[in-house]
Amino acid sequence: MGKAPKVVEMDIYPVAGHDSPLLTLSGCHAPYFTRNIVVLKDETGNLGIGEIHGGEHITEQLNSYKPFVIGERVSEYRKVLTNIRRSRQQSAADDGSGLQELNISNLKFVVQSEAAIECAMLDLFGKFLELPIAALLGEGGVQRDEVEFLGYLFYSADSNKIDLPYEKPDGTDSWESLRRSEMMTPEAIVKQASVLKDKYGFNNFKLKGGVLSGEEEMKSVDALKAAFPDARINIDPNGAWSLEEAIRLSQGRKDVLTYIEDPCGPESGFSSREVMAEYRDATGIPVATNMIATNWRQFHHAAALRSVNIVLADPHFWTLDGSVRMAYLLNEWGLTWGSHSNNHFDITLATFVHVAAAAPGNIAPVDTHWIWQDGESLLKEPIEIKDGKIKLFDKPGLGVEIDLDKLKKQHELYKQMPFKDRDDTIAMQYLEEGWTFDPNRPVFCHK
């Protein structure tokens, strides 16, 4: 076969896409979200692509990695990643607290930006070997030929109350109209789930909490279970509830909640890992996390305390290889692997498919925000979610092809944005004047 080709070009495209006024503990999503796209070209002319979170900090990091990537053979991706990590200096603004209290300004420090380069090099290496990325990850190669995703549900504000350029419903289909509408009641959340099931075939749902009082959010959870009795129903308050509140809200709901994600934050001098271990012991409800175990050291302490059952090992936080290594460890220990998601384009969606296809054992359905961005593709051929699943692609590498015209269009949108970093507090000022983030207070609940 000969030697693997060398990388001869590396381009970074900061891009933006449209979003809805989705509500989380950190506030209200802005009209736009941002990502960084890595495009590598090898000496045969093939392109390899990767996607990672947006923001100027990550763009600068990626550009600084070019000397480590250009000129290297695509088969040397592990060496490239090692050299990048050895060169990287911790930011003076990074206090090491991570996402334990969902401080969005810390997100850029949790993201492993080199994962986009890893993905792009694996894309090229897979094309060279005529194998999918999933076959190059982990110890056992491809574990499944299709991956199940869940319907990711959000409370959504009325964009008419926010003087920012959100897209308006255009009536092209039921989901296109609904995803740009206000949805704040249990009835609206059930309608959201019903439309998503009709469009994508989802059999499982997760509700993003931390918005209303815990009592109100659990009404939506109960309504979802009543409407979809065979579905796995989960909620993610992002640590907004106290331990006492979380235990009280969970009483009598073991048959409703399949698991709960990050119910509690730090309190009374104890870390989230300690508090969530107490919650798990008190309720017996399985606990998932994307906040208290976002690296190996954090996972060590979470595992030692038996804080969680499910680790949502987002490959953007863990890298592709790290996420799959976590899946193997969890499977050996009788725990469960899954993956968390932020707003993203369909390059990330394809990445999720490969990482989940390589993960052994009985994995959890994978999160994805893509349904909220569907129609704003960067690929030549759209990815189809059918019956709540995506089939592993039949082409080598990542299995999808970048559309450079679409990429440049989203790059132009990015350049028009007045600010580049995520800030969920701006839109919230229109909904509640003087609103500030509080990790222990749901968005519309005052102390």
What strands, in cross-sheet order, belong to the sheet with 151-153? 151-153, 204-208, 232-236, 257-261, 287-289, 310-312, 336-338
Helix 346-358 to helix 320-333 angle (10° resolution) is 40
Q: Is 394 annotated as a binding residue?
A: no
Provide the CA 8 distance to its chain's centre, in angstroms. 30
Given 41, 197, 316, 340, which residue is catalytic?
Answer: 340
386 is catalytic: no
- Selection from 283, 246, 269, 236 nearest residue 99 by Cα: 236
208 is catalytic: yes
- DSSP-derived letter for residue 397 is B
SS3 191: helix
Q: Is 170 annotated as a binding residue?
A: no
- Rounded CA gap, 47 and 402, in Å? 8
Long-range interactions of 65-72: CB distance < 8 A, separation 24+: 65/10, 65/113, 65/114, 65/117, 66/10, 69/7, 69/10, 69/40, 69/117, 69/121, 70/7, 70/8, 70/9, 70/10, 71/6, 71/7, 71/8, 72/6, 72/7
- Selection from 284, 251, 247 nearest residue 263 by Cα: 247
The Cα-based distances of 352 to 64, 149, 241, 398 in angstroms read: 26, 10, 29, 10
| CB 340, CB 308: distance < 8 Å | no
* DSSP H stretches of helix in 146-271: 174-178, 186-200, 214-227, 243-250
- Rounded CA gap, 199 and 188, in Å? 17
Q: Is 290 annotated as a binding residue?
A: yes
| CB 224, CB 155: distance < 8 Å | no
| CB 84, CB 68: distance < 8 Å | yes
Given 208, 225, 316, 369, which residue is catalytic?
Answer: 208
b/e sequence 169-207, b meaning 16+ C-beta within 10 Å: eeeeeebbebbbbebbebebbbbbbbbbbebbebbbbbb
- Per the structure block, which two tokens stand in for 134? 């999933």
| Single-letter residue type at 299 | F
- Rounded CA gap, 357 and 350, in Å? 11
Going by the annotation, the residues of the binding site for Mg(2+) are 236, 267, 290
Going by the annotation, the residues of the binding site are 236, 267, 290
| Active site members | 208, 340
